């Protein structure tokens, strides 16, 4: 009996150790070939290159807003690269919004390897780009898709702190699509047999920051999401301060929310919160 217990403990320890060592390979799933904007269905977007605070040069795509309309900074989820988001940003381009599809390190041929702090550095480089385009922060929309929700929340959180210290204008609004409360919570839901919350290196702890955001918030979630339990989006929404709006899609999953027409309510939310007259 003692030998059986010892073997079981050894196998479990090896499993936990293996998960710890390869966790970033389990979290981040980039693809490297980056087709042109034309091939990806967004020919009006142009390739831009940004430099991060740690010296990496990233490739992103950008189309300026028409007139004084807001600009969406789109932080993608953990898989693929920005080319796969052309169809998702199409409605916002058609509405005249500016769109900056944020390239991550390690994705789409960009140098570096993705990590929490690395993606935050990438996010800051994109906000610096907007500043250099002379776009006021109250016209920025931080859009976070799945994993990107952690980046969007962090950028809005950091800007809110700067706003408090430097009396800057606030960020215009935040949109979170299929968000998690934290990456540790998401990991724990996938690996309930190990102490996943204690093992994660990258925390993306949005639930600890969401009530510090000053911008209007919109959360869209599918009630059939099999990747991130919908309760996490609800928890995040409930923890946020007003003004906030939730859009709960009956029958919606993790990757198909745009099949349910969610771009319409998102455009309506952005328009109302940026005082756009239709």
180-198: per-residue pLDDT in tens? Answer: 999 999 999 988 887 878 8
Give me the residues paired with residue 247 across strands.
220
Decide if pLDDT at 141 tops 90: yes
DSSP string, 89-139: HHHHHHTT-EEEE-PPTTSTT-SS---HHHHHHHHHHHHHHHHHTT--GGG
d(CA 21, CA 19): 5
Please, which residues have CB within 8 angstroms of residue 2's CB and are 6 or more apart in sequence? Answer: none
User: From the centroid of its chain, how far is CA 53?
Assistant: 19
In this prediction, residue 277 has a pLDDT band, given cuts at 50, 70 and 90, of very low
Q: Alpha helix locations (H) across the chain? A: 2-21, 23-27, 86-94, 116-132, 147-166, 183-190, 196-199, 230-239, 263-273
Res. 278 pLDDT band, cuts 50 70 90: very low
Longest dimension (CA), the chain: 75
- Highest CATH level, class, for 2-273: alpha beta
pTM, rounded to two decimals: 0.94
Q: How far apart are the first and last CA of the chain?
A: 74
Within 10 angstroms of residue 111's Cβ, the number of other Cβ atoms is 12
What is the tens place of the pLDDT at every residue in 13-55? 666 566 677 788 989 999 999 999 999 999 999 999 999 999 9
Burial status of residue 256 (CB atoms within 10 A of its CB: 0-12, 13-18, 19 or more): middle
Query: And the tokens for 81?
Result: 């690269």
Percent of the chain with pLDDT over 90: 81
Find the mean pLDDT for residues 54-62. Answer: 98
The span from the CA of 24 to the CA of 95, in Å, is 37
């Amino acid at each position: 009996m003692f030998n059986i217990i010892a073997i079981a403990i050894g196998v479990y320890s090896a499993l936990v150790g293996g998960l710890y060592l390869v966790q970033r390979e389990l979290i981040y799933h980039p693809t490297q070939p980056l087709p042109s904007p034309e091939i990806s269905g967004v020919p009006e977007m142009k390739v831009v290159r940004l430099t991060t605070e740690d010296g990496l040069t990233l490739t992103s795509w950008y189309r300026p807003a028409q007139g004084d309309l807001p600009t969406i900074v789109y932080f993608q989820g953990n898989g693929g690269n920005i080319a796969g988001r052309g169809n998702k940003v199409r409605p916002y381009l058609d509405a005249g919004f500016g769109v900056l599809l944020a390239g991550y390190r390690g994705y789409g041929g960009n140098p570096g390897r993705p990590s929490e702090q690395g993606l935050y550095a990438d996010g800051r480089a994109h906000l610096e780009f907007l500043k250099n385009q002379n776009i006021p922060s109250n016209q920025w929309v931080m859009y976070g898709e799945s994993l990107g929700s952690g980046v969007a929340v962090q950028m809005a959180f950091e800007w809110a702190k700067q706003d408090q210290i430097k009396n800057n204008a606030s960020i215009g609004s935040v949109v979170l699509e299929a968000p998690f409360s934290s990456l540790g919570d998401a990991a724990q839901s996938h690996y309930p047999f190990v102490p996943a919350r204690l093992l994660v290196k990258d925390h993306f702890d949005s639930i600890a920051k969401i009530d510090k955001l000053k911008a209007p918030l919109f959360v869209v979630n599918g009630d059939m999401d099999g990747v991130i339990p919908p309760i996490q989006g609800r928890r995040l929404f409930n923890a946020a301060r007003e003004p906030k709006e939730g859009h709960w899609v009956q029958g919606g999953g993790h990757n198909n929310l745009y099949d349910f027409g969610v771009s319409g309510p998102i455009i309506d939310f952005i328009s109302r919160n940026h005082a756009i007259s239709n």
